[in-house]
Amino acid sequence: MAQFDPNVLASASVTLGVAALALVCRLVARRMTKMSLWFDDYLAIFAFLFAASWSAMMITWTIHAGLGRRLEDVEGLTPKQALQLSHLLLWNAELFYASSLAFSKLSILGFYWRLFSRSNIRVPIQILAVLSLIWLIIRTFLAIFHCVPVQAFWDKSIKDAVCTIDDSKFFFGTVLVHLLLDISILALPVLQVMNLHLKAGQKIAVIALFMFGILVCVASIVVLAESLKFDPSSDEMPLDIAPIMIWATVEANLAIVSEEVDESSSIHQLADSMQPGSHESDGELINGRHGLQTVISSNPYDLPSSADSEGDKGIHVRKETSVRIELSTRKHP
Q: What is the pLDDT of residue 111?
A: 86
CA-based end-to-end distance of the chain: 94
Distance CA 105, CA 133 (A): 9
CB burial of 285-315 (b: ≥16 within 10 Å; e: otherwise) equals ebebebeebebebebbeeebeeeebeeebee
Report yes or no: 272 and 266 within 8 Å, Cβ to Cβ: no
Q: What is the pLDDT of residue 239?
A: 92
Domain boundaries, the chain: 5-274, 283-326
Q: Which residues of the chain fall short of a pLDDT of 70? A: 1-2, 191, 193-196, 198, 200, 202-212, 260-333
The DSSP bridge partners found for residue 285 are 294
Give residue-wise pLDDT tens across range 21-49: 988 988 888 888 777 888 888 999 999 99
Class of domain 5-274: mainly alpha
Q: What is the pLDDT of residue 299?
A: 43
Closest CA to 90 of 244, 250, 253, 223: 244
Instruction: Classify residue 228 as exposed, middle or buried by CB count within 10 Å of its CB (0-12, 13-18, 19+).
Output: exposed
Please tell me whether residue 295 adopts helix, strand or coil conformation: strand
Distance CA 66, CA 235 (A): 13
CA angle 43, 49, 50 (to 5 degrees): 90
The dihedral built from the CA positions of residue 237, 239, 240 and 244, taken in this order, carries a sign that is positive
Give residue-wise pLDDT tens across range 205-256: 666 666 667 888 999 999 999 988 888 888 899 999 999 999 999 999 999 8
